Structure 1
């Protein structure tokens, strides 16, 4: 249905790496478009001292985090049943569209956002690529494509989480000019573009920004580099806040695992620790994380890495003095691998299992401390890119997971 210019990297790799669980469903460890751009998501953190937009979770800096279970340093017990129910009731729900909406027709945008509203979503997550708006250095940005998305979101009462990414070729570093994962050659020039955009869209209700996507893998070209990323994060965050003091800024959603065997990867604990040591956590309001499960979410190492392992995200935040910083799940989901590798008769069983996987992911994530959002990747399949996680199939028809997720969200919101 969507006519996207670029493909989303759920995690970078030549193909989706999957683990078959349950009734034959595969949950993504990686997937993507090598040499293509990444998609980003944003979350706010409670340590910046800024005023957050309405509905943004906040917590005083330095306040006590979750309760330790005493089993090992840095391991945090899951929430109690009552706390879990309260956390689920307050969950922020979102749907990932990657870079599709900016290139859709008005009718396609309306249909896509009608679906988000029917699902009960609070947010849409979309790429905000510099190259989409300023292809030539000597011309001012043209924001008309994104104006359409913002207008549509506002008409549907949906908040936008915009992932800032994709420098145009003329603004990339020489070492990686051929990939949109390439960081800008000049962070200050990138920040100037971002400031223009934030000034324009804060007046139209856009306050949530995520700086880059999965910078802990090769979505930061040519290799992940937390110190280098921190320089961009601090510069861009300052530009955002100067244009919108109420902005809510997320550190770019971190990949939970290697995108493919042997591929570059810095574990979230190590990446967050390095960014914190370089002063980067002070620039954001939240951490973004993409825990596609490697099996049952209850035992998946990508989920356990939130708080139930010695080198967890919570452990890194505790050590950085930000124990209550929110964790936004800006991507998770479950794919249909039979569409890629076959056999065809497994497609329907995997689609049925996708429903159960969605329920389990929500159930398990709502038991973890600091988790405040659940964004499903993705709205619709992109079969040529091997991205088959959609609530809609490539032909636009609905999967059973659409109605299942709609019911999950409705049930969660009943307690509000």
Structure 2
């Protein structure tokens, strides 16, 4: 077990009494670029580590880059079919927009000019994959950031998109669960909105009727979710507190440059704390760790490369072992 000392492992892996099975989720965007052989090997490894949920990206700008009549979904078909085979539930993330649908703006983060186009796309996905057991959909990613919803967040436009997707998905799969886009944790600027402010604004514009759960990316900012002015209090304000909050991204990088970088032991401790919460906090849905494997070899400055449980060379970080210990 590369990079792990016995004493430190024993310290972090002390026994925990779980009151219920933990809904262990995983982000793994690299699946979209794997060969069939690599995919099967990854799914076998995820099964060993106890992954129960997988967040799969359905990037509209890649799937329908040229027009609304042609779809590139062969790799997604493989992933969804393997998830069904390995008994792993899928949360499908539907996001981004091709140039032909965004009204002439810069792709892919600019939203569609007509939300109905997005709704049609969501409908096709829900109809295609419901038979394989995919009944959970997240609508957009971090819509409170300008880099994800260009040029700047718009709660009213987002609600229109959410409504179009919700109605379209439910029409073809009435049992589906629709999760609002996982929210980032910025301050208010000209191109970003605080998560609580954005959530309040979409509720004010009617989002309550078009979501079954709220998505969030706390990244250590749990107080912004559960504190007195957090997301849960916003949901209570609109009498919607009985719905779950799904943590569709959570993690920490172990290399690169910047204040977010932590040691490998600290990453494992953060992972344990996150999944401990799922047994002690009510109305908390699956938690999806970000990511399964580092995207880069050592030596890169970008910390986004190093959120994995595995290093780029497939050696195991302490967090990989910690993930396995959670039940």
In the alignment, what sits opposite 2:268? Answer: 355
In the alignment, what sits opposite 1:305? Answer: 224
Unaligned runs of 5+ in 1: 1-22, 24-83, 294-301, 411-416
Match of 2:180 among 223, 235, 251: 251
CA shift, 1:240, in A, is 0.5
Do the aligned residues in 2 keep the contact of 1:90 with 1:372 (CA within 8 Å)? no
CA shift, 1:315, in A, is 1.0
Corresponding residue SS for 2:91: strand
Do the aligned residues in 2 keep the contact of 1:286 with 1:326 (CA within 8 Å)? yes
Q: After the TM superposition, which residues 53-202 of structure 1 pair with which residues of structure 2 at under 5 Å, given as runs? A: 86=19, 89-98=20-29, 100-137=30-67, 139-175=69-105, 177=106, 179-202=107-130
In the alignment, what sits opposite 1:5? Answer: none
In the alignment, what sits opposite 1:18? Answer: none
d(CA) in 2 for partners of 1:363, 1:400: 17
CA offsets, 1:376-398, max 9 Å, x none?
10011123653111011122222
CA shift, 1:227, in A, is 0.9
Do the aligned residues in 2 keep the contact of 1:352 with 1:400 (CA within 8 Å)? yes
In the alignment, what sits opposite 1:367? Answer: 280
CA offsets, 1:199-258, max 9 Å, x none?
111122110100001111121111011111000000111000011111111001111234
Do the aligned residues in 2 keep the contact of 1:307 with 1:368 (CA within 8 Å)? no
d(CA) in 2 for partners of 1:263, 1:377: 27
CA shift, 1:368, in A, is 3.2
In the alignment, what sits opposite 2:12? Answer: none
CA shift, 1:369, in A, is 3.5
Unaligned runs of 5+ in 2: 1-7, 9-16
Does 1:287 pair with 2:217? no
d(CA) in 1 for partners of 2:266, 2:116: 47
d(CA) in 2 for partners of 1:142, 1:217: 27
In the alignment, what sits opposite 2:309? Answer: 391
CA shift, 1:265, in A, is 2.5
Corresponding residue SS for 1:257: coil
- Change in 2 beyond 3 A, CA 1:303/1:198: same
d(CA) in 1 for partners of 2:233, 2:269: 30
Match of 1:236 among 152, 158, 165: 165
d(CA) in 1 for partners of 2:282, 2:68: 47
- Change in 2 beyond 3 A, CA 1:366/1:306: farther
d(CA) in 2 for partners of 1:211, 1:275: 13
Q: After the TM superposition, which residues 204-353 of structure 1 pair with which residues of structure 2 at under 5 Å, given as runs? A: 204-218=132-146, 219-258=148-187, 264-293=191-220, 302-309=221-228, 311-336=229-254, 339-341=255-257, 350-353=263-266
In the alignment, what sits opposite 2:3? Answer: none
CA RMSD of aligned residues (A): 2.3
- Change in 2 beyond 3 A, CA 1:185/1:246: same
d(CA) in 2 for partners of 1:365, 1:148: 30
Do the aligned residues in 1 keep the contact of 2:182 with 2:216 (CA within 8 Å)? yes
Corresponding residue SS for 2:263: helix
In the alignment, what sits opposite 1:297? Answer: none
CA offsets, 1:5-64, max 9 Å, x none?
xxxxxxxxxxxxxxxxxx9xxxxxxxxxxxxxxxxxxxxxxxxxxxxxxxxxxxxxxxxx
Q: Quick check: which one's helix share is greater? A: 2
